[in-house]
């Protein structure tokens, strides 16, 4: 029996290592190509090692603006979605009202709606408001899809907290805003981290609204990478921009790793 357990443990480790190699090889290849000149330049021959691909990101104003726009989308989404989702999730978790479950399911159903279905009505609405072709307009469109999933995630975390904590705080004279700020937020910090992570994922890679709602301004990094492909594509530059676009996500994961780990564990309970 012990030999069988050791065999299964060894097999599990082998499969894990094989999966890590399978995932890592494309990333390694992409990183290596990003340091290779794939088009002839005055200061670099084709096939030579160079950092010109990365310096081009800082030199090209379109690439700089695309990175700035994508970061702005993420920050605006987190700053709008999380403060709105927390009281909504608290209401769904702690309060009962007519149609509460149906409304909650409607939020989830809206989230699984393909974004392309809503591009025309959103475009018409934003045109009347004058926020088409702007960073804020695209970020607001992202919030429409991030808010339902954020409410769903935070509602699960709030429901895991005993209601007795709320009652004790209210008996001590705390108002709802003060209770949420001083007691609830520290308790659901892992949930907020998970919510911010999902907001980042959607806003950073989303291209549908960026393609429909922008013509000259507000193009994200995903659109900038797509624009690099043409008759004579600089693959080295494409790989460099792709690698650079992964850095913010890696920094976010590293900075919030403890909260994310706790949050996903709580979500599995």
Per-residue pLDDT at 164 exceeds 70: yes
The residue assigned the tokens 């934003």 is 126
Per-residue pLDDT at 1 exceeds 60: no
pLDDT of residue 173: 79
Distance from C-alpha of 69 to C-alpha of 267, rounded to nearest angstrom: 31
The residue assigned the tokens 């691909």 is 53
**Nearest Cα residue to 153 out of 104, 80, 103, 113:** 104
Task: Summarize the confidence of residues 178-191 as an average pLDDT.
Answer: 84
Distance from C-alpha of 150 to C-alpha of 177, rounded to nearest angstrom: 19
The residue assigned the tokens 């900038």 is 224
Phi, psi of 47 (to 5 degrees): 95, -5
What CATH code is assigned to 58-268? Answer: 1.10.3720.10
Q: Please return the burial class of 136, using the count of CB atoms within 10 Å of its CB with bins 0-12, 13-18 and 19+.
A: middle
pLDDT of residue 163: 82
Phi-psi region of 257 (alpha: psi -120 to 50; beta: other; left: phi over 0): alpha
The residue assigned the tokens 């045109």 is 127
pLDDT tens column, 37-86: 888 777 777 778 888 888 888 888 888 888 988 888 889 999 999 999 99
> What is the DSSP-derived secondary structure letter of residue 207?
-
Structure tokens at 226: 């797509």
Task: Summarize the confidence of residues 188-202 as an average pLDDT.
Answer: 86
Q: Say whether pTM exceeds 0.75.
A: yes
pLDDT tens column, 213-233: 877 777 888 888 888 887 788
Distance from C-alpha of 230 to C-alpha of 212, rounded to nearest angstrom: 21
pLDDT of residue 250: 83
Banded model confidence at residue 268, pLDDT cuts 50, 70, 90 = very low
138 CB neighbour count, 10 Å cutoff? 31
pLDDT tens column, 34-51: 888 888 777 777 778 888
pLDDT of residue 81: 92
**Nearest Cα residue to 114 out of 223, 226, 201, 208:** 208
| Cα R_g (the chain), whole angstroms | 23
**What is the residue extent of each domain of the chain?**
58-268
| Cβ-count burial 168-205 (b if 16+ within 10 Å, e if not) | ebeeeebeeeebbeebbeeebbbbbbbbbbbbbebbbe
């Amino acid at each position: 029996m012990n030999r069988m357990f050791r065999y299964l443990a060894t097999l599990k480790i082998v499969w894990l290592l094989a999966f890590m190699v399978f995932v890592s090889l494309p990333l390694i290849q992409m990183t290596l190509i990003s340091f290779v000149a794939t088009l002839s330049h005055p200061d670099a021959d084709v096939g030579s090692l160079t950092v010109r691909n990365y310096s081009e990101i800082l030199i090209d104003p379109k690439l700089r603006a695309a990175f700035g726009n994508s970061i702005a989308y993420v920050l605006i989404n987190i700053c709008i979605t999380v403060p709105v989702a927390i009281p909504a999730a608290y209401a769904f978790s702690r309060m009962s009202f007519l149609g509460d479950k149906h409304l909650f399911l409607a939020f989830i159903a809206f989230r699984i709606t393909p974004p392309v279905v809503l591009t025309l009505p959103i475009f018409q609405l934003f045109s009347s408001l004058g926020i088409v072709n702007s960073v804020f307009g695209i970020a607001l469109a992202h919030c429409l899809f991030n808010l339902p999933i954020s409410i769903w995630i935070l509602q699960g975390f709030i429901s895991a907290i005993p209601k007795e904590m709320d009652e004790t705080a209210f008996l001590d004279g705390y108002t709802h805003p003060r209770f949420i700020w001083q007691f609830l937020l520290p308790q659901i910090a892992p949930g907020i981290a998970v919510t911010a992570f999902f907001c980042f994922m959607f806003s950073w890679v989303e291209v549908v609204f960026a393609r429909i709602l922008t013509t000259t301004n507000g193009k994200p990094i995903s659109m900038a990478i797509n624009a690099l492909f043409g008759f004579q594509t600089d693959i080295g530059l494409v790989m460099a921009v792709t690698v650079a676009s992964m850095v913010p996500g890696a920094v976010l994961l590293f900075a919030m790793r403890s909260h994310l780990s706790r949050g996903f564990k709580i979500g599995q309970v």
